[in-house]
Structures are given as C-alpha cells and as structure tokens.
Structure 1
Amino acid sequence: MQDITNKLYKNHSLIYKGLLFVCTTFLIVYLFPKSGKFKYNFEKGKPWQSENLYAPFNFAVKKSDEEIAAEKQNIIDHSIVYFNEDAAIEKKVADLFNVEFKKTFSDSLPKSTLVNIYNTGNKIISELYHFGILNEDYNYPDDRVAVILEGQVKKHNTQFSNLIKQDEVKSSIVKLLSEHNLDDYETMFVSLFFDLVEPNLTLNESFTNKALKDDLDKISYSRGSVEKETLIISKGEVIEGDKYQILQSLKAEFESQVWTKSNYNWILFAYTLLVSLALLMLLLFLRKYRLDIFENNTKVTFIFFNIFLMVLLTTLVVNYNSKFIYVVPICILPLVLKAFFDARLGMFAHVITVLLLGSIVPNSYEYMFLQIIAGIVTILTVSELYKRANLFISVAQITLIYIIAYFAFFVIHEGSVDTINWETFIWFILCGLATLFVQPLIYAYEKIFGLVSDVSLLELSDTNSKLLKELSNVAPGTFHHSLSVANLAESCASEIGANAMLVRVGALYHDIGKMKSPTYFTENQTTGINPHEELSPKESAKIIVDHIINGIEIARKYNLPDRVMDFIRTHHGTSSVYYFYMKEKELNDTAERMDFCYPGPRPFSKETAILMMCDSVEAASKSLNNPTSIKIDSFVESIINKQIEEDQFLNANITFKEIESIKKVLKHKLANIYHLRIEYPE
C-alpha cells in the first residue's frame, strides 16, 4: 500500500494531466452536435462533384424558408377575424329613439311626414346594426372575412368593409336620409343619433388568435417526397432549383433523424477520438518542445481552459444564430498564449482549436481557412503587446484579412459581387473590437492563474515602484548595480532573441535580498568600514549567501511573480563565495567548499543564464584597474568560461553560439562604459 501511495505521489503531475485531458475531452464532446454529419459538400449554382447520388431512404422534400415565410404571411393576411355582438344594444337604441323622437320632432309637421321620418329613423337603426358598429378602429383590410358571434355562437359572416366604424356613422345616416328625400332634417337626425348610437361589436382576440394558430399549424413544410433508390443528382449536374432543395432536404433529414442508441454511441465515440487526438497532439508538442510548460500543471490547465472557452463561446453563438459566427474573437487565443508563452505555442494551439471548431460551424472549410489565416496574421503582427498602438494596429490588420478572405470566398462561390451580404463585414468589425478585450482578459488571467505577461513586466520595470524605491533608499549601491546589470542583460537578450523585457525586470529585482543587510556588500560601503573584518569567513559567507533567501522572502511579501523570483533564485546558481572560501582555507585546510556555495538552483532558461553572466561581469568589472580592450576581453572570457566549467548553464537551453554572442555584447558595452577606443590591428 505504501508503495502504491509513493508511486501515486511521484506521478501526481502526470495523473493530473491525464485527468485534465479526459475532462477537457468530454466537456468539448458534450458541446458537439450529437447527430450524424452529412458527408457531401455542395453549393447552389455549382456542379455536383461526387458520384451519382441515390436516395438512401424515403424522405420528404422540404419547402424553402422563403416559400414557408410567404405561405405564413398569406395566411396571416387572410385569416378570419372574430367579433362579439352585444344584441341588447340595438333594442336599447330603438327604445331610446321612440322616446327622443317625440321630443325632437314637432307635432305641427304633417302626419305623413312624421311617419316617414319615424320609419326612416328605424330603418337607419336597422341598417347601422345589420352588421354592427365597431367599438374602435381596427386596421384590417376591407376584404378580410369577419365572423359575428352572438355569445359563443356564429351568427353570420361578412367582409370587414361592411362593419361600420364610428367615424362612418354620420355618413351612413346622411346617405339614408338622401334616399328618402329627408335632407332638410339632416342636422336634427345627426344630432339625435349622435346621442343614441352605441357600438355593439368588440374584437374577440382569443377566437381570432386561435383561428390564426390553427391555420398556421396546418401548413405543410414539405412538398412531395423522394422514394429510396431514386436518382437525386448526377455527377457534374448543376445544383439549382428543385435539385438544390431536394439535397437540402436530404441533408436536414440525415442530420435530424432519430438515431438508435447504437448510432448515438458510435457518434460519441468517434467525436471523442477526434477531440482526444487533437488534444493529445497539443500535449505531445508541449512535452517535446515546451518541457518547462508541460511540467507546470497550472500552465497546462491555462492552455486547455482557453481552448475549451473558445469552443464554448462558438457553440453558444452557433446555437443562437450561426450568422453571428464571425463575431466570436477566436484570435484572442493566439494573442493570450503569445503574451504568456511564445508565438509558436500560440499558433499550434490556435490551429488545434480551429480544427475542433470545424465540427461545429457551418461552411467548415471556409471558416477554418479564415481563422487559420487570421491566426497567422495575429502571430506575425502582434509584438510588444504592452504598447497600446501595436494592439490597435494588429487588430485592424486582422479585421482587414478577415474581410479580404471572406470577399475572395464569396466571389469564388457566387461568381459576382452583386448579391454579397455587406452585413457580414459588420460582424468582422465587431470581432476586431471584441479582440481588443484581450488586454483586460490578460490582466484577469494573471490574477487567476498567477502568470506574468509583458504588460505586467512593463509595470514591474518602473523604477518608481514601491520596492525599487525602497531598494534605492536602503541600498543605493545595489540599486545602481541592478540598473547597470539590467541594461547589459537587456542588450544581450535582444542579441540572441531572448525575452528582453523579462530579463530586464529580473535584473532589477535580483539583488533585493541585500536590503536586509546592505552594508555587508561592497557596493553599499561608503564609509570605508567593512563589517566583514569583525566576522569569520563562514559568517561572512552566510550573510552573502542569505541574500538569495532574503530576496525570495521580500519578493513574496511584495507579490512578485514566480518568473521574476526565478532570477533571484538562480543568478548565482551553485557557485561559491570564492573570496571567503579562500580566506577560510588559509585558516583551515579542511574547509568544505559546499559550506560556501549558494543554494541554487542553476539557471534553467536563456534569460536566467544571461542574468548570471551579466551580474558576475558587471560586479567584477568594478575591480578592473586601468582597463583596456584586451583586459576587458580577457576578463569577460575568464568569468563566463569559469561558469561554463562549473556547469552552471547545464540546465539552460542556451547554446555556445549564443554565449559567444553574449560575450561580444558584454565586451562592447564595458568598452563603452570605460570610454575605450577599439584597438584595431596594425
């Protein structure tokens, strides 16, 4: 049991990566569509490239979206409108008319005239309420069928134009009076009926909406069917008209049909294989070319998280509306990975992600081509992300590449630009604007995952920061030494293509541990008194060596990133405090060199190796008397060669050629510092 526990502990990092790999694979597969994918690619107006296609099963030919939309609109335009009639209102108006008639018309009129007026009034009431008066103005076409309901029972049908609107009551009265030669009584009649007439028709919304819904539900989404083994299209035949609609119907039927449990499991298995293969390639890339990242579980988690995030965002957009697919800022992925790691890893992860997205998006070939090209442009153009102008320029270039590539694809597919959808260009511009979100995203990632980007390094390089201010006040000599080393290291890093910003920041902070006891270091001794004279060589060596441990403690207190603390740990490697070791040896022949060595570790990157060389050369250069070019050359060679002999660079991925380039830079810089002329051979 103990052996198993020990093995698990020993391999816990690999076990974690295995679990991360499995979890990410299943999460991505969960987001993928769970139906089969139609194996033929076709485009309207283009020849059929595959062999003759026969119907693999019976299926219905679906109507196009335009046909269905037109059919729905036609039903909406001609649907029946239902109105409720209040039958009591007509009787109420007639009764009031009998009462008001006697008050309005004088008995002095001839009896025949009064009878004619009375009968005309009743006829007006009958005409007005024959179909009914609307309670408000409804905006329906005149030819719309209107059904009058008495209670819940259908009374009669008519056209909407026969129903009287309230503003039409007067004109109806005037018309009837004219027909009965009673124009002289128009004013009296209009005044009388204005007070009497009430609307008796109200819209029955529930009946109207239900009738419309029933009619819409009866729409057939297919027109005809295709029998199994029927020839659908021949090779070379142009895809248009009914052929295109039949192919679309076959594709939709294939992708939406109900799958058996066996089919479903096979599809899941196939997707799992593809996703795991893609993620495995990424892990193998890290294992072979980025071992330091592979061995850091936080960094591997960060990379897998970003890939999953891009797949998640794209899936959500596709499920909502696939026309917005190009709004998703996929180029954020290579930007982020380049900011924290390097361009090659950013490009590799971007390609893997785009390949995964090919199983989700429509027009996968076009999508993958555009995104890979945009990713390449992102990697090639974005440099020094901490400079705001660079990011804006790069985003503009990325957006332009999207637009050019999409335009080219459209012309290839359609053969002209007449029907180009200019709205898509707006999505590309929005994608470019969304890509600018990378700056706050990088800041959030730094806090969540404890990583450091060039943006943070720029902030840390500010000599007015609290920690560097304290260093300049407490140990001014060490601060000046750190500035000199930073300038040397930055030049060397630029010469061999290392991260110049990182090595500069590392150099500025590498000696902060000397703040604990600044006067024990020669660069801070201004009074001529050396406190080491009162200590034994071992005690002095311990104080010197402890500035590494003290530096790490201070760095943690000020929350410096691990990448910066690496410079504090490694800038002396496992070398010895040679002066005090030799002094101890004079007193004691049995002195152990290990008692005078720094704890390490040795430098394990180009940047930390550069700092070790520059720190040693700069510190030792203070002891040069009457420096000449020959002296400086010999001095630089001896210091760095000694470090090589002690295997200090054994773990750093730095070549002899790069070390020689660093030597040349250091010789040239020191010659400039001491204002020496280059000695040309005679």
Structure 2
Amino acid sequence: MKDFINTLYRNHSLGYKFLLFISTTFLIVYLFPKSGKFKYNFEKGKPWQSENLYAPFNFAIKKTDAEIATEKQEIKDAVPLYFNLDSAVPNTVTNNFNREFKSIFPDSIQVYKRNVLKQAGTTIIDKLYHFGVLNDDYNYPDAKKVIILEGRVEKEQTQFGNLVEESQLTEIIVKVLEDNDLQSYKNEFTSLFFDLVEPNLEYNKEFSSRVLQEELDKVSFTRGSVERETLIISKGEVVEGIKFQILKSLESEYESQVWNKSNYLWIVFAYTLLVALALLMLLLFLRKYRMSVFENNVKVTFIFFNVAFMVLITTLVVNYNSQYIYVVPICILPLVLKAFFDARLGLFTHVLTVLLLGLVVPNSYEYMFLQIIAGIVTILTVSELYKRANLFISVGQITLIYIVAYFAFFVIHEGSVETLHWETFGMFVLCGLATLFVQPLIYAYEKLFGLVSDVSLLELSDTNTKLLKELSNKAPGTFHHSLNVANLAEAAANEIGANAMLVRVGALYHDIGKMKNPTYFTENQSTGINPHDELSPAESAHIIINHVIDGIEIARKNNLPDRVIDFIRTHHGTSVVYYFYMKEKEVNELIEIEDFMYPGPKPFSKETAILMMCDSVEAASKSLKEPTSTKIDDFVETILNKQMNDDQFLNANITFKEIQSIKKILKQKLTNIYHLRIEYPE
C-alpha cells in the first residue's frame, strides 16, 4: 500500500493531466447534441457525390420554412375578425337624437325644412349603425373579413372597411348633408352627433385568436412521403428542387428522431471517442514538441480551458440560433495562445478546436474552412500584440478573409449574387470587433493563471519601474551593465528568431541580486577600494555566487513572473567563479571545485542561453585593452567556446548555427561600442 501511495505521489502530475483530460472530454460531450448525424454531405446545386441513395425507412417530405410561413400568412389573411355587437345602442342614439333635435333646431324653422333635417339625421344614424361603430381604432386592411356576433351568434359578415371608426364621423355627416344640400348645418350636426354617437362594436380578441390558432394548427408541415427502398437520388445527379427538399427531410429525420436508450448511449460513446482523440492529439503534441508546457499543469489546464470555453460559447449560440454562428470570435483562441506560448501551438490547438466544432455546427465544411483559414491568417499577421495598431490591422485582415471566403462559398452554392445575405457580412464585422476583446482577456488570464504575455513584458521593460530605479540608485554600475546586456541580448534574439522582448526583460533584471552587496562587484567600485581584499577567496566566492539566490528572493518579493526569474536563476548556469577558485587553490590544493560553482540550473531555452552568452561577453569586455576587431573576434570566440565546452547549453534548444549567428552579432555590437575605425596613415 505504501509503495502504491509513493507511486501515485511520484506520478501525481500525470494523474492530474489524466483527470483534466477525462473531465474536459465529458464536458465537451455534454455540450454536444445527442442525436444522430446524417452521414452524407450535400450542397444545393452541386452533383451528388455518393452512391445511389435509397430511402432507409418511410419518411415524410417536409415543407421548407418559407413555404410554411407563406401558408400561415395566407391563413392569417383569410381568417375573419370577430366583433361583439351591442344591438341596443342604435335605438338609444335614435331616441337621444329625437330629443336633442328639438333643442338644436327650434320651431321657428319651417316644417318642411325641419322634416328634411330630421330625415338627414336619421340617415346619418342608419349609415353609422348599418354595420356598426368601432370602440377603438384598429389597424386592419379594409378588405379583411369581419364576422359580427350578437350574443355569440353570427349575425352578419362584412369587410373591415365597412365598419365605422369614430374618426370617420365627420366624413359621414358631411357626405349626407351634401347629398341633401344641407351644408350650412354642418356645425350643428357635427356638435350634435359627437355628443350622441356611441360605439356598438367591440373586438373579441380571445375568440378571434382561438379561431386563428385552430386554423394554424391545421397547417401540414409535410407534403407527401417517401416509401422505404425508393430511389431518392442517383450518383452524379444535381441536388436541386424536390430532390434537395427530400434530402433535407431525410437529414432532419435522422437528426430529430427520438432515440431509444441503446442508440443514445452509442451516440454518446461515439462522440466521446472523437473528442478524446482530438484532446489526446493535443496532449501528444505538447509532450513531443512543447515538453516545458506539458510538464506545467497550469499551462495545460489553461489550454484545455480555452478549448472547452470556445466549444461552450459556440454550442450556446448554435442552440439559440445557428445563423449567428459567425459572430463567435473563434480567432481569439490562436491569439491568446500565441500571446502566451507560440504560433505553432496556437494554430495546432485552433485547428483541433475547429474540428470539434464541425460536429455541431451547420454547413460544417464551410464553417471549418472559414475558421481554419482565419486562424492561419491570425497566426501569420498578428505579431507584437502589445502594439495596439498591429491588433487593429490584423483584425481587419481577418474580417476581410471571412468576407471573401463566405462570398466565394455563397456563389458556389447559389450560382449568383442576387440573393446574397448582406447581414452575414455584418456578423463578420461584429466578430472582428469581438476579437478586439482579446486584450482585456489576456490581462484576465494573466491574473487567473499566473502567465506572462508580451504586454506585461513591455511594462516590465520600463526602466522607471520601482525595482529598476532601486537598482540604478544602489548599484549604478550593475544597472548600466544590465542595459548593455539587454541591448546585446535583444539584437541576438532578433537574429535567431527568439523572443526578443522576453530576453530583454530578463537581461534588465538578471543582476538585481547585486543590490544586496553592490560594492563587492567591480562595476560598482568607484572609490578604488576592493572589499574582497579583506576576505578569503572562499568568502568572496560565496558573496559573488549568492547574488543569484538574492536576486531570486528580491524578484519573488516584487512579484516578478517566473519566466523572468528563470533568467536570474540560469544566467551563470553551473559555471565556476574561476578567479577566486584559482586564488584559493594557490593556498589549498585540496579544495572542491563545487564550492566555487554557481548552483544552476543551466539555461533551458534559447532566451536564457542568449542571456548567459551576452552577460559573460559584456562583463569580460571591460577588461579589453586597446581593442581591435581581431581581438574582439578572438575574445568572443574564446568565451562562448568555453561555455559550450562546459556543456552550459546542453539543456537549451539552441543549435550550433544559431550560436554562430549570435557570435557574429556580438562581434558587430562590441565593435560598434568601442568605435573601432580603420587606422589612417600619418
């Protein structure tokens, strides 16, 4: 049991990765739809590439959404509106008119004229209440069919235009008066009827809605059916018209049918296999080509989290409305991974993620093509993410690639541009704008996962930071040395394609440990007094070696990232403090060389190896007397060859060719520093 626990403890890192792999796989599978997927790919207007297809079972031919929408609209136009009639209102209005007529039109008017006026009022009432007066203004077409109910019984059918709205009252009064040559009485009749007229028709919304819904429920979503073993389409036949609709119906039947428990489990198992294979490829890639990332569980968790996060967002959008699928900024994934790791890892992860998403999105081939091309453009165009202009330019290029690729696919599918969906271009623009969110997202990831991006490195490279100011005050010589090393290292990194920003920051901070005992280092000795004269060689070596340990402590107190601390830890590797070792050896032949050796570790990346070279060359160059080009060449060769012979670069992924390039840069830079010129004759 004890051995088993010890084995688990020794392999806890692999165990964590296994749990992470399993949990991410099940999370992604949980997000995926649990239905069958049509095994054939087909596109409208293109030939059928597979073998002759026969109906595997009986199924109905589904109508298109446009056809169903048209049928429903026709029903909505045809179904009548129902209004409740209050039959007592006309009699009430007539009685009130007869009573008010006497007060409005006095007896002094001739009897004949009074009769004509009264007859005109009666005519107005008849016109108003022939079908009825509405209690509100309703916005319906005049030709809309209307059924008038009296006590829930149909009394009359007419058109909505025949019903009277209160706003039409003046118009009816004027028309009747004109027909009877009574225009001079317009004001009297208008004021009279505006007080008398009451609505007698009220819209029965509940009954109208129920009748409409009953008719809509009768709409058939299918038209005809296909019997089992019926030939649906032959190989090479163009997919169009009814053939296309039958194929879409068959695909829909596959994806929407109710699965029994056995089928459901098989589908989940199949999805699990596919997702597990994709994530396994990612782990194998990390193990083979990015071992430093693979061994860091935080970084592996970060990569898996981003993959699952993109799958989550995409599936949510697909479930809500798949037409918004291109609003999801998938290109954030390679941007983020390139910011924290490198372009190759970012592109590899992006491609695997897009392959996974191809299982859930519609038009999967088109989607995957667009996203992979956009991912490649992202990797190729985005450089130096900390420069804001670069990000805006790259996002513009990505958006343009989306638009061009989508346009090409649309023309291939439809054969014309007349029905081009311009709103999709707007979605690509929104996607580009959403991609700009990568900057705050990178900042959030830095805080959550403790990672370092080039943006943070740019902030750390500012010589006005608190720590570098303290270094310049306490150890001005060391600060000047660090600036020189930073310039040399940056030039060397650019020459071989390493991370120039990272190596520059590492160079600026690599000697901060000298702040603890600045006068024990020659570059800070301005008085001519050397404190080492009062110490034994072993004590002096101990102080010199300890500047690495002191530097790590200071860096941790000031919350410097681990990527920067690595430069402090490795910039001397396991080299020997040779001067004090030889001095001690003069008096004690039995000393151990390990006592005068830096604790290491040796540089384990191109960047840390570059810093070791530049630090040694810059420090030793101060001892050059009357430097010439030949002396500088020999000097650089000697120092770097000794480091190579001591196997200081054994753990760094740097090649002999790259070391030769670094030698060339160092020789050029030192020549420029010492202003060597051709000696002209007297």
TM-score normalised to the size of structure 1?
A: 0.93
Task: Please give the alpha-carbon distance, in whole angstroms, between the structure 2 residues aligned to 1:406 and 1:127.
Answer: 61
Matched, 1:603 2:617: no
Task: Please give the alpha-carbon distance, in whole angstroms, between the structure 2 residues aligned to 1:185 and 1:633.
Answer: 118
Pairing of 1:195-274 with structure 2 (within 5 A): 195-274=195-274
Task: Please give the alpha-carbon distance, in whole angstroms, between the structure 2 residues aligned to 1:124 and 1:411.
Answer: 63
Matched, 1:551 2:551: yes
1:16-75 CA distances to partner (integer Å, 9 max, x unpaired)? 111111111111112222111111222222232222222211211111122111112122
Pairing of 1:494-573 with structure 2 (within 5 A): 494-573=494-573
Contact 1:131 1:163 in 2 (8 A): yes
Q: Cα–Cα, structure 1 residues 136 and 534, in superposed 2: closer, same or farther, change >3 Å?
A: same
Residue identity matched to 1:369: F
Pairing of 1:350-365 with structure 2 (within 5 A): 350-365=350-365
Pairing of 1:14-163 with structure 2 (within 5 A): 14-106=14-106, 125=125, 128-163=128-163
Task: Please give the alpha-carbon distance, in whole angstroms, between the structure 2 residues aligned to 1:342 and 1:649.
Answer: 22
Q: Cα–Cα, structure 1 residues 48 and 631, in superposed 2: closer, same or farther, change >3 Å?
A: closer
User: Secondary structure, in 3 states, of the residue corresponding to 2:40?
Assistant: coil
Aligned residues: 679
Task: Please give the alpha-carbon distance, in whole angstroms, between the structure 1 residues aligned to 2:183 and 2:678.
Answer: 123
Contact 1:101 1:118 in 2 (8 A): yes
Which residue in the other structure is 2:277 paired with? 277
Task: Please give the alpha-carbon distance, in whole angstroms, between the structure 1 residues aligned to 2:446 and 2:461.
Answer: 17
Residue identity matched to 1:8: L
Identity of aligned residues (%): 75
Deviates more, 1:281-290 or 1:386-395: 386-395
Deviation at 1:374, TM superposition (A): 1.9
User: Secondary structure, in 3 states, of the residue corresponding to 2:66?
Assistant: helix
Pairing of 1:326-337 with structure 2 (within 5 A): 326-337=326-337
Matched, 1:348 2:359: no
User: Secondary structure, in 3 states, of the residue corresponding to 1:131?
Assistant: coil
Deviates more, 1:86-95 or 1:602-611: 86-95
Deviation at 1:508, TM superposition (A): 0.8
1:151-190 CA distances to partner (integer Å, 9 max, x unpaired)? 5554443332332222444555566678889889777555
Task: Please give the alpha-carbon distance, in whole angstroms, between the structure 2 residues aligned to 1:511 and 1:137.
Answer: 84
User: Secondary structure, in 3 states, of the residue corresponding to 2:489?
Assistant: helix
Matched, 1:317 2:320: no
Q: Cα–Cα, structure 1 residues 592 and 207, in superposed 2: closer, same or farther, change >3 Å?
A: same
Unaligned runs of 5+ in 2: none
Matched, 1:622 2:622: yes
Task: Please give the alpha-carbon distance, in whole angstroms, between the structure 2 residues aligned to 1:455 and 1:175.
Answer: 80
Unaligned runs of 5+ in 1: none
Task: Please give the alpha-carbon distance, in whole angstroms, between the structure 1 residues aligned to 2:299 and 2:624.
Answer: 44
User: Secondary structure, in 3 states, of the residue corresponding to 1:8?
Assistant: helix
Task: Please give the alpha-carbon distance, in whole angstroms, between the structure 2 residues aligned to 1:174 and 1:383.
Answer: 79
Which residue in the other structure is 1:368 paired with? 368
Residue identity matched to 2:18: G
Deviation at 1:12, TM superposition (A): 0.9
Which residue in the other structure is 1:594 paired with? 594
Task: Please give the alpha-carbon distance, in whole angstroms, between the structure 1 residues aligned to 2:300 and 2:273.
Answer: 20
Contact 1:474 1:515 in 2 (8 A): yes
Q: Cα–Cα, structure 1 residues 101 and 428, in superposed 2: closer, same or farther, change >3 Å?
A: closer
Deviation at 1:341, TM superposition (A): 1.2
Deviation at 1:126, TM superposition (A): 5.2
Which residue in the other structure is 2:296 paired with? 296
Task: Please give the alpha-carbon distance, in whole angstroms, between the structure 2 residues aligned to 1:164 and 1:666.
Answer: 96
Which residue in the other structure is 1:578 paired with? 578
User: Secondary structure, in 3 states, of the residue corresponding to 1:147?
Assistant: strand
User: Secondary structure, in 3 states, of the residue corresponding to 1:9?
Assistant: helix
Residue identity matched to 2:615: D
Contact 1:502 1:607 in 2 (8 A): yes
Residue identity matched to 2:51: E
Task: Please give the alpha-carbon distance, in whole angstroms, between the structure 2 residues aligned to 1:28 and 1:461.
Answer: 40
Q: Cα–Cα, structure 1 residues 187 and 330, in superposed 2: closer, same or farther, change >3 Å?
A: closer
1:3-23 CA distances to partner (integer Å, 9 max, x unpaired)? 222211111111111111111
Pairing of 1:422-437 with structure 2 (within 5 A): 422-437=422-437
Pairing of 1:475-494 with structure 2 (within 5 A): 475-494=475-494
User: Secondary structure, in 3 states, of the residue corresponding to 1:61?
Assistant: strand
User: Secondary structure, in 3 states, of the residue corresponding to 2:251?
Assistant: helix
Deviation at 1:76, TM superposition (A): 2.0
Pairing of 1:404-423 with structure 2 (within 5 A): 404-423=404-423
Which residue in the other structure is 1:665 paired with? 665
Which residue in the other structure is 1:444 paired with? 444
1:483-517 CA distances to partner (integer Å, 9 max, x unpaired)? 11112222222222222221111111000011111
Task: Please give the alpha-carbon distance, in whole angstroms, between the structure 2 residues aligned to 1:653 and 1:182.
Answer: 107
Q: Cα–Cα, structure 1 residues 175 and 532, in superposed 2: closer, same or farther, change >3 Å?
A: closer
Contact 1:358 1:365 in 2 (8 A): yes
Residue identity matched to 1:313: I
Task: Please give the alpha-carbon distance, in whole angstroms, between the structure 2 residues aligned to 1:639 and 1:186.
Answer: 115
Deviation at 1:393, TM superposition (A): 2.5
Contact 1:629 1:678 in 2 (8 A): no
Which residue in the other structure is 2:398 paired with? 398
Task: Please give the alpha-carbon distance, in whole angstroms, between the structure 2 residues aligned to 1:387 and 1:588.
Answer: 57
Task: Please give the alpha-carbon distance, in whole angstroms, between the structure 2 residues aligned to 1:391 and 1:111.
Answer: 93
Residue identity matched to 1:382: V
Which residue in the other structure is 2:388 paired with? 388
Task: Please give the alpha-carbon distance, in whole angstroms, between the structure 1 residues aligned to 2:183 and 2:377.
Answer: 86
Task: Please give the alpha-carbon distance, in whole angstroms, between the structure 2 residues aligned to 1:668 and 1:201.
Answer: 98
Q: Cα–Cα, structure 1 residues 186 and 461, in superposed 2: closer, same or farther, change >3 Å?
A: closer
User: Secondary structure, in 3 states, of the residue corresponding to 2:129?
Assistant: helix
Q: Cα–Cα, structure 1 residues 125 and 423, in superposed 2: closer, same or farther, change >3 Å?
A: closer
Residue identity matched to 1:374: A
